[in-house]
Chains A and B, each alone.
Chain A
Amino acid sequence: MKLSYDWLKEYINLKKLTPEEIAGELSLRTVEVEGLGKEAEKFDRVVVGKILEVRKHPNADRLQLAKVEVGGGLRLDIVCGAPNIAPGQLVPVALVGAKLPDGLEIKEAEVRGEKSQGMLCAPDELGLGDDHSGILILGKKAKIGQPLAQYLRLEDVIFEIDNKSLSNRPDLWGHYGMARELSAIFNLKLKPLDKVVAKPLAEQTAKAEKALELEAEVKETTLCPRYMAVAMSGIRVDESPEWLRKRLVAAGMRPINNIVDVTNFVMLELGQPMHAFDASKLKNKGERFKIIIRRAKAGETLESLDGQTRKLSEEMLVIADEDKALAVAGVMGGAESEIGAETSTIILEAANFNPVSVRKTSSRLALRTESSMRFEKSLDPTLCEPALARAVELIRETNPQAKVASQAADEKNFRIDQGPVELDLDWIAKKIGEKLPTREIVRILEHLGFAAAHVGHKLSVTIPTWRATKDVATGEDIVEEIVRIYGYDRLAALMPEVRLAPPEANLERGLERRVKELLSGAPALAETYNYSFVGEDQLKHLNIDPASYLRLVNPIASNQNLLRQNLTPNLLNNVRINQARFDAFGLFEIGNIFLPVPGEIEKGIDRETLPYQEKHLGIVLAGDAADELFGKAKGIVEYLSASLYLPAVFKEAEAKPLWADASLCAAVFLGDRELGLVAKVDGQAARRLGLKKEAVAVELSFKTLVQLARGLEARYAPVEKYPSAVRDLAFVIDARILYNDINREISGFDPLIKKVELFDVYEGEKLGRDKRSLAFHITYQGEKTLTAEEVDQVQQRLIRDLEEKFGAKVRDF
């Protein structure tokens, strides 16, 4: 919203306060001032000059040479094309360096061989109208050298207020309300409302020629708590007077005519949106008008002021006559009853509409207006009356022949809870953290329009109507009023005194941090963050059916419309964007996944729970050799689990995802709990995704990891007293036999076998098809120093056992 400094001065004597001071204090105590626009700066380096002589340009018929005095004894030669200049005239001169409103920058120039040290300006060049017929000739009061802005009295400063910071303040959407704030901030006197609106409505309608009868029927009293209207006749629609146009322009509105401008002026002054109808377009019975405030009918349409035909629906409120809708209540008027050049009788409306209804209607129609913006903040219904009085008064000022032609219709169905709110002074201090002087508290409240009666420890505070609609109702609200005007900057910054208690540890976050440190350590992975959303194409490329995915109603992009159920798809995208620049790399992410089944977390309002959500850990490795990547990925999982004192085991995955290469896909188990999988991305899927590298993905349930790792610590066993013996054992075995089974057999074969470690796997032509060789280091240790014979004995038995059970054939090295 734009606020004019000049306009504010009508209600408050701002004395020597500069716009900068006002903006600064408003920002600290009331609303956000986003910027200051100084009108005077529009005409920087444009001054009043006196033409001393005019000569013909020697080389151009249409040009003249003027000698101009611009103050400080300075005389400039300026080439000018306008026909209307003559010696003795006072004219605006743009000096070298001036930047005109149209963006033109004045430089010293040579025009057809003659020097020109500035420019004489026509009105349009200064943005002062459309006239380009000649140079603007100034009045006799202009002083040579005087800045043009000063001569034109362009001293106004416009404050740009951030509308968001006004969203809770229905009273600040007009200059008068903002002046009230300033009166509290700077301890100044505010012009009372009954002086701003000189004549009460009753007084103005008392003299009305009761030529017309005006009736309003409100069918929806909750949607329209108040409806006021009055008819005026003898209107002559014309351009508004200069002062009125100037006010509207300053506040950023376009002047239209002397009726519409008045309604807009009142809105910008008091914050009450108004509307004027051309009465001749309304259905009437003789001299009787009936305005009906009702819901729109299904299928009803209305051409709004902006020329668009609006489809209305039954939840929208309209202003209508007995035949048709005239306006969308609180949002926009209709084109048919618009004030036009021929309008002679008008019906002026000042009403109050339900904020939620206006808001819904304006968002359904995608039509946000100055009016709807105000109504949706919960305006004060008592404001209708002074606003209507003010509009009538101003229309009579701009249309001296206009007359009030009816009684005012006034349908009221509202109640405002103004309290009083009883406050304990100690309670106020308890909220703020210090005791403010009671006199200061009372002063602040009274300047803001509250009534504050002070008895002993208690304060009885009556809320003004313009704050009582929603904004202020409780003691806390009143504390805010006091403390913001008093100044947050004056409060001490204190650390709280508390009863010490150790905070409950967050195990999941603790483990998350540890896992991130581990993975960014030895495995040298980079942590990445991805969106929680995936797209259908992305899933289809991975042979995943998107049907079961939770969907966003309003996604930002069609490729981000589903809630991820795994981290892998987006991690594979990460591979794609990095593959051109990095040979081999690995990334990991810890993040939430979402499933379309009920989870454990309550929704808080009904008995349902939120969809299931849990944290996953995803890792992706990219490089050239799939086997190596697969081995490395498993190695990382083992490193991670070992670091958490958990043994990981890989098994044949029972359910392999359709994007996985079936030959390189393993389930990860911790004990008997399945944690997730390690899998190479299938070649075709990779191609569809645009992957140019081999990629292996790990997807683990972080939640399960947290449960299993809980409370685990390193376990100490006394260091063995007796030396151990290591024997290597290699054998050829049917390739279909899993390592896990062999490993289990060897490890459990004899109590002397303490450690079994696979160190080589070989498959090749020489061994024959379906065969492979496995080589192990086997560590033997006992309760005494073992002799070579004792070890050999066990090893021989082991070999026989493996031959019998697995058909293994020992190899010689």
Chain B
Amino acid sequence: MKDEILKLKAETLKELERTKDPEALRDLEIKVLGRKGRLTEILRGLSGLSEEEKRDVGKLANEVKLELAAKLKEAKNHLLKFSRAEGAVDVTLPGEKLLRGHIHPITKVQNEIEDFFSSLGFMVLDGPELESDFFNFEALNIPRHHPARDMQDTFYIDHKNGEGEYDLVMRTHTSPVQVRAMRKYGAPLRSIMPGKCFRSEATDVRHEHTFYQVEGLMIDQNINLSHLKGILEALARHLYGPETKVRLRPKFYPFVEPGVNGEVSCFVCHGQGCRLCKSTGWLEIFGAGLVHPNVLRAGRIDPEKYQGFAFGFGLNRLVMLKYGIEDIRLFNSGDLRFLEQF
């Protein structure tokens, strides 16, 4: 055992000479003297020895340990003090400072999603942020006084129609663009519609009155629920990796029938349950379904001939999940401490 210790000492000293980098020195120290290092490993054999031998070996080990530690420290100090050769340029100096600008994280993720859908032949369309009550609600199968209007607190514009009702709103979702797209392009139709949305609710860490959504729409003669699942799964895998799964659950939205809620297997715990997914293993991401025949009709598409799916999701949530952002208000804060991180 003594031989082993001496051999270790010799090897270490040799390696010490070769090492020119403080980082490597630290590694060497850990490898030899660390809690799980080689010296400790050797000493594990101590228990098989007699008391006298134990004392001897122990003494030697201690001496070697102290000596090596001292040598290591010396080498480290030397390296730190004088690592530049005399007269040489200090190439570690920083370069000339060039400022860079920053793209908002929502723009970044939105671009990524637009590119993904463009690659599948989807158009990227826009619609007005100040929208008519008709497109925002009526055309989406949400008549006045429908309980579903509860789900969305709406900002109304101080403008009344002939019947004395407020008929202009800040759009509460990107879904009205569905109907506008149908009217403009007819079927077949493949499109996504990203954009700014508004709901009249107080802001806090999780709530914002101004947020961003992406809407998706695909209409043709045979577009069905399995296709919806296929597209959502492809998107989820694009965003969260090839192992990601998508799960659909029934959920009521007036503008789709059947209506579903799309969940994605948690990308942190892969379905095992963690804090992010509140131990469910799933993250709620999409609202989706087959476009309601009334919505197709509002879009002047014949529901007897065509069918399709629509989906929507909140961009803010996606971005928060991606970067681990905890406060939704940061997006509209204009705070450079936030913006300059992207």
Picked from A169, A489, A503, A521, the residue with its CB within 8 Å of the CB of B121 is A503
Residue of A at shortest CB range from B292? A476
Q: Decide: A613 near B145, CB < 8 A? Known: A493-B226, A496-B227, A554-B155.
A: no
Picked from A27, A359, A556, the residue with its CB within 8 Å of the CB of B203 is A556
Q: Decide: A551 near B158, CB < 8 A? Known: A494-B227, A509-B126.
A: yes
A614-631 residues at the B interface, CB under 8 angstroms: none
Is B29 an interface residue when CB atoms closer than 8 A count as contact? no
A523 and B99 alpha carbons, distance in the complex (Å): 8
Are A606 and B161 closer than 8 Å at their CB atoms? Answer: yes
Is A740 an interface residue when CB atoms closer than 8 A count as contact? no
Chain B: minimal CB distance from A298 (Å) = 19
Are B122 and A503 closer than 8 Å at their CB atoms? Answer: yes
Are A527 and B103 closer than 8 Å at their CB atoms? Answer: yes
Most central of B126, B155, B191 by chain A CB within 10 Å: B155
In the assembled complex, which residues on chain A have CB atoms less than 8 Å from the CB atom of B118?
503
Q: Decide: A356 near B145, CB < 8 A? Known: A431-B225, A506-B124, A528-B104.
A: yes
A769 and B124 alpha carbons, distance in the complex (Å): 58
Is B8 an interface residue when CB atoms closer than 8 A count as contact? no
Are A496 and B218 closer than 8 Å at their CB atoms? Answer: yes
Chain B: minimal CB distance from A383 (Å) = 18
Residue of B at shortest CB range from A522? B101
Are A520 and B100 closer than 8 Å at their CB atoms? Answer: yes
> Interface range on chain B: under 10, 10 to 19, 20 to 34, or 35 or more?
35 or more
Are B190 and A524 closer than 8 Å at their CB atoms? Answer: no
Picked from A492, A498, A521, the residue with its CB within 8 Å of the CB of B226 is A492
A509 and B195 alpha carbons, distance in the complex (Å): 11
Chain B: minimal CB distance from A226 (Å) = 20
Q: Decide: A613 near B121, CB < 8 A? Known: A167-B151, A359-B145, A521-B101.
A: no
Are B224 and A432 closer than 8 Å at their CB atoms? Answer: yes
Residue of B at shortest CB range from A574? B334
Are A605 and B224 closer than 8 Å at their CB atoms? Answer: no
Q: Decide: A496 near B132, CB < 8 A? Known: A433-B227, A489-B248, A525-B101.
A: no
Most central of A30, A508, A528 by chain B CB within 10 Å: A528
Chain B: minimal CB distance from A502 (Å) = 7
Are A529 and B332 closer than 8 Å at their CB atoms? Answer: yes
Are A552 and B157 closer than 8 Å at their CB atoms? Answer: yes
Are A503 and B190 closer than 8 Å at their CB atoms? Answer: yes
A497-547 residues at the B interface, CB under 8 angstroms: 498-504, 506, 508-509, 513, 516-517, 519-521, 523-532
Question: 1/0 per position for A192-227, CB-CB distance to B under 8 A?
Answer: 000000000000000000000000000000000000
Is B134 an interface residue when CB atoms closer than 8 A count as contact? yes
Picked from A476, A498, A503, the residue with its CB within 8 Å of the CB of B258 is A476
In the assembled complex, which residues on chain B have CB atoms less than 8 Å from the CB atom of A256?
none
A509 and B194 alpha carbons, distance in the complex (Å): 10
Picked from B111, B188, B250, the residue with its CB within 8 Å of the CB of A480 is B250
Residue of A at shortest CB range from B125? A506
Picked from A31, A516, A581, the residue with its CB within 8 Å of the CB of B336 is A581
In the assembled complex, which residues on chain A have CB atoms less than 8 Å from the CB atom of B157?
550-553, 563, 611
Is A479 an interface residue when CB atoms closer than 8 A count as contact? yes
Is A577 an interface residue when CB atoms closer than 8 A count as contact? yes
Picked from A430, A494, A525, A563, the residue with its CB within 8 Å of the CB of B229 is A494
Are A610 and B257 closer than 8 Å at their CB atoms? Answer: no
Is A42 an interface residue when CB atoms closer than 8 A count as contact? no
Q: Decide: A526 near B151, CB < 8 A? Known: A488-B248, A601-B128.
A: no
Is A582 an interface residue when CB atoms closer than 8 A count as contact? yes
Residue of B at shortest CB range from A476? B257
Is A651 an interface residue when CB atoms closer than 8 A count as contact? no
Is A165 an interface residue when CB atoms closer than 8 A count as contact? yes
A528 and B107 alpha carbons, distance in the complex (Å): 10
Q: Decide: A554 near B129, CB < 8 A? Known: A29-B250, A501-B121.
A: no
Chain B: minimal CB distance from A638 (Å) = 17
Chain B: minimal CB distance from A487 (Å) = 9
In the assembled complex, which residues on chain B have CB atoms less than 8 Å from the CB atom of A165?
251-252
Are A603 and B167 closer than 8 Å at their CB atoms? Answer: yes
Is B313 an interface residue when CB atoms closer than 8 A count as contact? no
A348-373 residues at the B interface, CB under 8 angstroms: 355-356, 359-360
Are B231 and A496 closer than 8 Å at their CB atoms? Answer: yes
B83-110 residues at the A interface, CB under 8 angstroms: 99-104, 106-107
Is A723 an interface residue when CB atoms closer than 8 A count as contact? no
Chain B: minimal CB distance from A21 (Å) = 15
A499 and B190 alpha carbons, distance in the complex (Å): 11
A599 and B127 alpha carbons, distance in the complex (Å): 13
Are B129 and A532 closer than 8 Å at their CB atoms? Answer: yes
Are B130 and A611 closer than 8 Å at their CB atoms? Answer: yes
Are B331 and A494 closer than 8 Å at their CB atoms? Answer: no
In the assembled complex, which residues on chain B have CB atoms less than 8 Å from the CB atom of A603?
132, 134-135, 167-168
Are B104 and A531 closer than 8 Å at their CB atoms? Answer: no
A571 and B332 alpha carbons, distance in the complex (Å): 11
A574 and B123 alpha carbons, distance in the complex (Å): 34
In the assembled complex, which residues on chain A have CB atoms less than 8 Å from the CB atom of B179?
604
Chain B: minimal CB distance from A228 (Å) = 25
Are B130 and A433 closer than 8 Å at their CB atoms? Answer: no
B188-244 residues at the A interface, CB under 8 angstroms: 188, 190-191, 196, 198, 200-203, 209-210, 218, 220, 222-227, 229-234
In the assembled complex, which residues on chain A have CB atoms less than 8 Å from the CB atom of B107?
516, 527
Are B247 and A489 closer than 8 Å at their CB atoms? Answer: yes
Is B116 an interface residue when CB atoms closer than 8 A count as contact? no
Are B210 and A532 closer than 8 Å at their CB atoms? Answer: yes
Q: Decide: A556 near B202, CB < 8 A? Known: A527-B101, A601-B128.
A: yes
Question: 1/0 per position for A8-20, CB-CB distance to B under 8 A?
Answer: 0000000000000
In the assembled complex, which residues on chain B have CB atoms less than 8 Å from the CB atom of A524?
99-101
A31 and B260 alpha carbons, distance in the complex (Å): 11
A613 and B127 alpha carbons, distance in the complex (Å): 10
Q: Decide: A552 near B155, CB < 8 A? Known: A431-B307, A433-B224, A501-B121.
A: yes
A271 and B234 alpha carbons, distance in the complex (Å): 41
A553 and B157 alpha carbons, distance in the complex (Å): 6
Are A503 and B225 closer than 8 Å at their CB atoms? Answer: no
Q: Decide: A506 near B200, CB < 8 A? Known: A527-B103, A553-B157.
A: no
Starting from the known contacts A517-B103, A554-B200, 19 additional A-B residue pairs (CB-CB under 8 Å) come to A431-B307, A434-B226, A484-B250, A484-B258, A491-B226, A493-B230, A494-B226, A508-B126, A516-B103, A526-B339, A529-B104, A550-B130, A582-B336, A592-B130, A603-B135, A604-B134, A606-B161, A613-B128, A613-B129
A-side interface residues toward B, CB under 8 Å?
27-32, 164-165, 167-169, 355-356, 359-360, 376-377, 430-434, 474, 476-477, 479-480, 483-484, 488-489, 491-496, 498-504, 506, 508-509, 513, 516-517, 519-521, 523-532, 550-556, 563, 570-571, 573-574, 577-578, 581-582, 585-587, 591-592, 594, 599, 601, 603-606, 610-611, 613
6 cross-chain pairs, A with B, having the tightest CB-CB distances, nearest first: A433-B226, A520-B101, A480-B258, A574-B334, A524-B99, A433-B224
B-side interface residues toward A, CB under 8 Å?
99-104, 106-107, 111, 114, 118, 121-126, 128-132, 134-135, 138-139, 145, 147-148, 150-151, 155-159, 161-162, 166-168, 170, 179-180, 183, 188, 190-191, 196, 198, 200-203, 209-210, 218, 220, 222-227, 229-234, 246-252, 254, 257-260, 290, 292-293, 307, 331-337, 339-340
Q: List 13 A-B contacts (CB under 8 A).
A: A165-B252, A360-B145, A433-B224, A480-B259, A493-B233, A493-B246, A494-B227, A496-B227, A506-B123, A521-B101, A553-B157, A555-B200, A604-B132
